């Protein structure tokens, strides 16, 4: 990390009050490094956006994703948090159809992360268990997107604590057999390792205590993706800002951010939570 650079970095958090379908067209093309959002699920928070039937959800959402594709940098990433509702005893298919239609728009469907909600809400139904997971769909504009994997490494599994200290002989021999001349370049890498790259399943407890907004994700979730797909000074966009978790986290991590929200009361709340302009004190000094 370049300290000199940080001293002169100003971090902006911009709250735009309005419908993202109207506001996104005003944004510059190829300007956003990461879009992360949790849009109103069909028939839930949809009422604030006009109450769209699940069968109309894809049709309603596609104009927005088209604009998102335009504003995203070629190296950027779009993380979409979504889950299909149960309609008439079945999982609705709007998420599946949305993925297919977004690919027609030009999006690449790179990956699907699973958010495992560890403390999902209690409940019981005769033909269904509690829903403890949501989709985190990763879309990209090109295959050459930025990914900073080291920023989200996790402590290695428990198994290692007793066992890694004596490194597996297998790994040594595997390496030696493959490149006869090679010595253990990789082995030393292993020996010093205390952290591992995470898999595509995220275990995060939901935050139930937020009274301001019904559909928030926990701070850890945007934090993980912001660390993974952006660096300091980059620009993060949340077109369905809600209670503003994305902006708060982005500011904490020194990323610029733009949040768009249709409900004025949420806009006011978020404006009070974030400082529109954060300037490093050292810059003045």
Partner DNA sequence: GTTCCGCATGAATCGATAG
Partner DNA sequence: ACTATCGATTCATGCGGAA
Kindly list the residues in this chain that would bind DNA in the complex (CB under 7 A): 38-41, 44-45, 81-83, 85-86, 89, 118-128, 130-131, 134, 156-160, 162-163, 166, 168-171, 173-175, 178-179, 182, 185-186, 189-190, 193, 196-197, 205-209, 211, 214-216, 240
CA–CA distance, 61 with 28 (Å, rounded to integer): 20
Q: Between residues 57 and 145, which has the closer beta carbon with respect to a copy of itself?
A: 145
Q: Which does 116 bind (CB under 5 to 8 A by kind): DNA, a copy of itself, none?
A: a copy of itself
Residues contacting a copy of itself: total by CB under 8 A: 53
Q: Between residues 7 and 173, which has the closer beta carbon with respect to DNA?
A: 173
- Per-residue mark of binding to a copy of itself, 38-77 (x: CB under 8 A): ----------------------------------------
Q: Which does 277 bind (CB under 5 to 8 A by kind): a copy of itself, DNA, none?
A: none
In degrees, rounded to 5, the angle at the alpha carbon of residue 245 between the alpha carbons of residues 115 and 215 is 60
Q: Please, what's the largest Cα pairwise distance for the chain? A: 67
State in angstroms the smallest separation of the CB of 149 from a copy of itself. 7
Q: Show the tokens assigned to 90.
A: 């079945």
Q: Between residues 153 and 279, which has the closer beta carbon with respect to DNA?
A: 153
Print the SS3 string covering 136-189. EEEEECCCCCCCCHHHHCEECCCHHHHHCCCCCHHHHHHHHHHCCCCCCHHHHH
3-class secondary-structure state, position 200? coil
What's CA 135's distance to the chain center, in Å? 11
Contacts of 264 (CB under 8 A, 6+ apart): 17
Question: 85 to 144, contacts with a copy of itself by CB under 8 A?
Answer: 89-91, 93, 96-97, 99-100, 103, 108-112, 114, 116, 118-122, 124, 126-133, 143
CA–CA distance, 13 with 271 (Å, rounded to integer): 9
Please, are residues 258 and 237 in contact by the beta-carbon 8 Å criterion? yes
State in angstroms the smallest separation of the CB of 135 from DNA. 10
CA–CA distance, 273 with 173 (Å, rounded to integer): 55
- Residue keyed to tokens 């006869």: 180
Which spans of this chain sit near a copy of itself (rule: CB under 8 A)?
89-91, 93, 96-97, 99-100, 103, 108-112, 114, 116, 118-122, 124, 126-133, 143, 145, 147, 149, 160, 163-164, 167-168, 170-171, 186-187, 190, 197-201, 205, 208-209, 211
């Amino acid at each position: 990390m370049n300290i000199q650079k940080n001293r002169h970095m100003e971090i902006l958090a911009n709250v735009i009050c309005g419908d993202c379908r109207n506001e996104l067209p005003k944004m510059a093309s190829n300007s956003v490094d990461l879009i992360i959002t949790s849009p109103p699920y069909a028939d839930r928070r949809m009422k604030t956006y006009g109450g769209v039937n699940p069968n109309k959800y894809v049709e309603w959402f596609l104009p927005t994703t088209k604009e998102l594709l335009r504003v995203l940098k070629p190296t950027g990433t779009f993380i979409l948090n979504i889950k299909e509702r149960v309609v008439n005893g079945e999982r609705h298919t709007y998420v599946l159809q949305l993925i297919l239609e977004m690919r027609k728009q030009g999006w690449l469907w790179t990956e699907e992360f699973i958010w495992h909600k560890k403390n999902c809400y209690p409940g019981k139904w005769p033909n269904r268990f509690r829903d403890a997971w949501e989709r985190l769909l990763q879309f990209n504009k090109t295959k050459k997107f930025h990914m900073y994997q080291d920023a989200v490494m996790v402590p290695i599994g428990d198994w290692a604590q007793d066992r890694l200290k004596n490194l597996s002989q297998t790994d040594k021999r595997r390496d030696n057999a493959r490149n006869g001349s090679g010595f253990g370049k990789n082995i030393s890498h292993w020996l010093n390792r205390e952290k591992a790259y995470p898999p595509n399943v995220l275990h995060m407890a939901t935050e139930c205590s937020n009274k301001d907004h019904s559909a928030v994700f926990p701070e850890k979730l945007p934090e993980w993706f912001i660390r993974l797909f952006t660096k300091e000074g980059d620009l993060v966009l949340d077109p369905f800002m809600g209670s503003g978790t994305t902006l708060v986290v982005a500011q904490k991590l020194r990323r610029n951010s733009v949040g768009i929200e249709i409900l004025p009361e949420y806009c006011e709340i978020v404006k009070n939570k974030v400082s529109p302009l954060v300037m490093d004190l050292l810059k003045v000094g």
